[in-house]
Amino acid sequence: NAGVTQTPKFQVLKTGQSMTLQCAQDMNHEYMSWYRQDPGMGLRLIHYSVGAGITDQGEVPNGYNVSRSTTEDFPLRLLSAAPSQTSVYFCASSPAMYRNTEAFFGQGTRLTVV
Amino acid sequence: AQTVTQSQPEMSVQEAETVTLSCTYDTSENNYYLFWYKQPPSRQMILVIRQEAYKQQNATENRFSVNFQKAAKSFSLKISDSQLGDTAMYFCAFTDYGGATNKLIFGTGTLLAVQP
């Protein structure tokens, strides 16, 4: 049972480059989300999706795009990387109906923008 | 806006002793869920314990228990018989019951070091 798979685990980008962080889940969860984790700030929600074809912004959406063409995949795109986007990124999924169910997290992507 | 506050950036405890991590939150909702997640050095986020706000009984999971004070909006985590494997960052998190999504709001975390 793979759960939530994130790729890559590490990435270094130059300022201005673009890239896509991949996230896939095999649990048929409706709800998927992206968080960034920065020292002293906890995890902050970037974008989320309640199902295929539906996405919305979280707390810190600027500089990021998402799409949800299938239930399984929820990629996060950095359009033009900036040093302020240096962070650890987590993808998470959970079934939409059961709010007390834990969110399942990927192993994170450590992104450095130089 | 809902917020979660963890006022202890770092804590240390001796192996086999008990430690309590603090968490307070702010919300106008009456129904919601609270969670404690553990993040060891591997970076993996692991659910430790959860609490439904409509339940008065405090949740327990083996050596982990919570003290949930709804009126005070407080949700502390007690770890008994601390083990070296408990060394990790601990995050308190909140999600409301009535919203359209499962958005989690996290605190800033407490880094716990268990000393041998």
pLDDT tens for A51-101 read: 999 999 999 999 999 999 999 999 999 999 999 999 999 999 988 765 557
* Chain B nearest-CA residue for A41: B108
Strand partners, A64: A78
User: Which residue of B45, B101, B107 is in closest CB contact with A48?
Assistant: B101
Percent of chain A beyond pLDDT 90? 82
Q: How far is B41 from chain A (nearest CA, A)?
A: 11
Place of tokens 């591997």: B42
| pLDDT digits 0-9 by tens, B24-38 | 999 988 888 999 999
What is residue B41's three-state secondary structure? coil
Q: How far is A88 from chain B (nearest CA, A)?
A: 9
User: Which residue of A42, A92, A96 is in closest CB contact with B109?
Assistant: A42
For residue A86, the 8-state DSSP code is -
Higher pLDDT, B109 or B1: B109
User: Which residue of B44, B95, B96 is in closest CB contact with A105?
Assistant: B44
Residues of A in contact with B45 (CB under 8 A): 90, 92, 103, 105
Asked if B9 lies within 8 A of A107 by C-beta distance, the reply is no
Residue B62 touches partner A, C-beta closer than 8 Å: no
Q: How far is A29 from chain B (nearest CA, A)?
A: 11
Given a contact cutoff of 8 angstroms between Cβ atoms, the answer to whether B111 and A42 are in contact is no
* Chain B nearest-CA residue for A102: B47
Q: Alpha-carbon dihedral of residues A4, A95, B105, B66, nearest 10 degrees?
A: -100
Measured between alpha carbons, how far is residue A2 from residues A109, B55, B77 in Å?
Answer: 17, 33, 29
Given a contact cutoff of 8 angstroms between Cβ atoms, the answer to whether B36 and B77 are in contact is yes
Residue B98 touches partner A, C-beta closer than 8 Å: no
Q: Alpha-carbon dihedral of residues B37, B92, B75, B79, nearest 10 degrees?
A: 40
Given a contact cutoff of 8 angstroms between Cβ atoms, the answer to whether B82 and B15 are in contact is yes
Give the CA angle between residues B55, B57, B61 to the nearest 5°. Answer: 110
Burial class (CB in 10 A: 0-12, 13-18, 19+), B35: buried
In the predicted model, is pLDDT for residue B103 greater than 90?
A: no
Other CB atoms within a 10 A radius of the CB of residue A5 amount to 14
Mean pLDDT, rounded, for A38-43 = 92
Mean pLDDT, rounded, for B67-89 = 97
Asked if B106 lies within 8 A of A50 by C-beta distance, the reply is no
Sign of the Cα pseudo-torsion (B46, A98, A69, A78, in order): negative
* Chain B nearest-CA residue for A92: B45
φ, ψ for residue B51, nearest 5 deg: -140, 130
